[in-house]
């Protein structure tokens, strides 16, 4: 195997801001409730994660207590800030010393400017659940406004997210962060588009298997009005991730889901070794007979289809299409990242 691409991510922010919590939820299967048990991080905790076949995410969770912080900016300076692909700076909305937090943020930028000038900068305004709903937007905008100005001074562009571990906003932020590090994201998108067109489905979403972060999604222009909830992708991440935990309690793993909903049918299954695909189709008012014959002959066997409730011919066509697309996506997954 060719050398895997390693991406270094720095997690910074004051002690108690929620860095280890979000890392544990996204990458280590904690529930939001479990994070109450986390102690303060001692110095830097490294976590290396295989992501999408041949990529390694190297997470540097930097304990935020003052003594450690001082070290990061003095004796450990080059060690910490070298070869950084992305800085994820976590602000606690309830922080009493916001000015000091911003100063720390600026210190990070100054060091990155020197050691990793191409790093991407993400600011997470975290614990949003503690702010009353009406004020959230204002609080977030105010902080981001000052961060944007300071970042510009170091010619960085900061991307911000309002997050909390108690809802799907965490998944939205981390999907964006991780996708920004995957060079193949455009290729996934293109093939997902083709897949959606060929199989004539209304929506397709591609997830990373262990984190359930959204890698890519396509909604057909003919889709019957799913747009009403633009956060549905990260909501699915959140929902399925929680269900995966229930499955773990049975010492088993989640494999697939098929939903025959009131307005739509959805099918979620493995795509490749490290991705899952979800396909959504609006319920047809009139059931069409065309195509079912071919689908029923052979395809079922071909797929070793053991989903007992995929009785509908339409489902079988989707399964067949996923099967065909699988090869293509496996290829993308193993493409060299350095090329």
Partner 1 sequence: MADSRGMVSEALTISSHRQGQPIPKILLMGLRRCGKSSICQVMFHNMQPLDTLYIESTSRPAATVFSSFIDFEVVELPGQTNVTDGWNDDIEKLFIESGALIYVIDSQDEYINSLANLHSIIIHAVQINPQINIEVFIHKVDDLSEDFRLDAQRDITQRVTDELLDDGLLNVPLSFHLTSIFDHSVYEAFSRVVQKKLPQLATLENLLNVVCQHSGIEKAFLFDIKSKIFVATDSSPMDVPTYEICTDFIDITVDMNSLYKIDSQDQNAGAKNTGDDYEPYSSGQEGGKKESKPIGSTTRLSNGLIVHLQQMVKGLALVCLMRKESMPKIALVEYNIEFFRNALEQLQQLA
Residues that bind ligand GTP (CB under 6 A): 13, 15-21, 35-36, 38, 40-41, 63-65, 126-127, 129-130, 164-166
Is there binding between residue 282 and partner 1 (CB under 8 A)?
yes
Residues 8-67 that bind partner 1 (CB under 8 A): 33
Is there binding between residue 159 and Mg ion (CB under 5 A)?
no
CB count in 10 Å sphere of residue 20 = 23
Instruction: Report how far residue 130's alpha carbon sits from residue 136's, in angstroms, rounded to the nearest whole number.
Output: 9
Picking from 130, 102, 125, 145, the residue whose alpha carbon sits closest to that of residue 22 is 125
> CB–CB of 167/308 below 8 Å?
no
Query: 16 vs 183, which CB is nearer to ligand GTP?
Result: 16
Q: How far is the CB of 336 from Mg ion (least distance, A)?
A: 34
Task: Choose, by CB under 8 A, the member of 46, 96, 249, 327 that binds partner 1.
Answer: 249
Q: Give the CA-trace dihedral at 65, 66, 68, 69, to 10 degrees.
A: 110
Is there binding between residue 259 and partner 1 (CB under 8 A)?
yes
Is there binding between residue 153 and partner 1 (CB under 8 A)?
no
Q: Which stretch binds partner 1 (CB under 8 A): 19-27, 56-64, 103-111, 303-311?
A: 303-311
Is there binding between residue 247 and partner 1 (CB under 8 A)?
yes
The binder of 164, among ligand GTP, partner 1, Mg ion, none, by C-beta within 5 to 8 A per type, is ligand GTP
The position carrying tokens 């003594």 is: 67
CB count in 10 Å sphere of residue 6 = 13
Is there binding between residue 236 and partner 1 (CB under 8 A)?
yes
DSSP for 88-145? EEEEETT-S-HHHHHHHHHHHHHHHHHH-TT-EEEEEEE-GGGS-HHHHHHHHHHHHH
Task: Choose, by CB under 8 A, the member of 78, 83, 243, 291 that binds partner 1.
Answer: 243
Task: Choose, by CB under 8 A, the member of 53, 81, 232, 271 that binds partner 1.
Answer: 232
Q: How far is the CB of 32 from ligand GTP (least distance, A)?
A: 7
Strand ranges of the sheet holding 158-162, from the earlier edge strand across to the other edge: 44-51, 55-62, 5-12, 86-92, 120-126, 158-162
Q: How far is the CB of 156 from ligand GTP (least distance, A)?
A: 22
The binder of 35, among partner 1, ligand GTP, Mg ion, none, by C-beta within 5 to 8 A per type, is ligand GTP
Burial 276-298 (b: 16+ CB within 10 A, else e): bbbbbbbeeeeeeeeeeeebeee
Instruction: Report how far residue 216's alpha carbon sits from residue 223's, in angstroms, rounded to the nearest whole number.
Output: 17
Picking from 111, 114, 92, 109, the residue whose alpha carbon sits closest to that of residue 13 is 92
Instruction: Report how far residue 174's alpha carbon sits from residue 210's, in angstroms, rounded to the nearest whole number.
Output: 13
Q: How far is the CB of 8 from ligand GTP (least distance, A)?
A: 18
Instruction: Write each residue from 36 to 75 as x if it is in contact with Mg ion (CB under 5 A), else as -, in one continuous string.
Output: -----x----------------------------------
Cα separation values, 322 from 75, 278, 279, 318, Å: 52, 10, 9, 6
> CB–CB of 93/142 below 8 Å?
no
Q: How far is the CB of 127 from ligand GTP (least distance, A)?
A: 4
Strands 5-12 and 55-62: parallel
Query: 20 vs 258, which CB is nearer to ligand GTP?
Result: 20
Q: Which stretch binds partner 1 (CB under 8 A): 22-30, 91-99, 117-125, 219-227?
A: 219-227
Q: Which stretch binds partner 1 (CB under 8 A): 4-12, 51-59, 187-195, 257-265?
A: 257-265
Picking from 58, 88, 53, the residue whose alpha carbon sits closest to that of residue 183 is 53
Q: Name the residues that contact partner 1, by CB under 8 A.
A: 33, 166, 224-226, 228-229, 232, 235-236, 239-240, 242-243, 246-247, 249-264, 266, 280, 282-283, 306-309, 311
Binding site for Mg ion (CB under 5 A): 20, 41
């Amino acid at each position: 195997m060719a050398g895997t691409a390693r991406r270094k991510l720095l997690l910074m922010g004051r002690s108690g801001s929620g860095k280890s919590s979000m890392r544990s939820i996204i990458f280590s299967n904690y529930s939001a409730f479990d994070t109450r048990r986390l102690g303060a991080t001692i110095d830097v905790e490294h976590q290396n994660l295989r992501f999408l076949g041949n990529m390694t995410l190297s997470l540097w969770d930097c304990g935020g207590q003052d003594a450690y912080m001082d070290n990061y900016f003095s004796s450990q300076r080059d060690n910490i800030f070298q070869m950084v692909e992305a800085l994820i700076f976590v602000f606690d909305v309830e922080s009493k010393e916001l000015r000091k937090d911003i100063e720390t943020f600026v210190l990070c930028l100054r060091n990155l400017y020197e050691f990793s000038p191409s790093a991407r900068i993400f600011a997470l305004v975290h614990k949003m659940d503690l702010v009353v709903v009406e004020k959230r937007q204002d609080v977030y905008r105010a902080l981001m406004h000052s961060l944007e100005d300071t970042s510009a001074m170091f010619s960085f562009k900061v991307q911000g997210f309002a997050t909390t571990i108690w809802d799907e906003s965490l998944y939205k932020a981390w999907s964006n962060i991780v996708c920004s590090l995957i060079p193949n994201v455009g290729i996934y998108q293109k093939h997902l588009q083709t897949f959606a067109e060929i199989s004539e489905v209304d929506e397709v979403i591609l997830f990373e298997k262990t984190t359930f972060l959204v890698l890519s999604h396509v909604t057909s222009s003919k889709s019957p009005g799913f747009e009403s909830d633009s956060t549905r992708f990260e909501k699915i991440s959140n929902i399925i991730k929680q269900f995966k935990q229930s499955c773990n309690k049975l010492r088993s793993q989640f494999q697939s889901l098929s939903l025959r909903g009131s307005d739509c049918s959805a099918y979620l299954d493995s795509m490749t070794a490290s991705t899952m695909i979800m396909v959504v189709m609006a319920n047809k008012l009139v059931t069409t007979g065309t195509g079912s014959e071919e689908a029923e002959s052979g395809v079922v066997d071909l797929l070793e289809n053991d989903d007992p409730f995929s009785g509908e011919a339409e489902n079988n066509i989707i399964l067949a299409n996923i099967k065909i697309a699988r090869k293509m996506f496996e290829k993308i997954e193993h493409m060299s990242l350095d090329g």
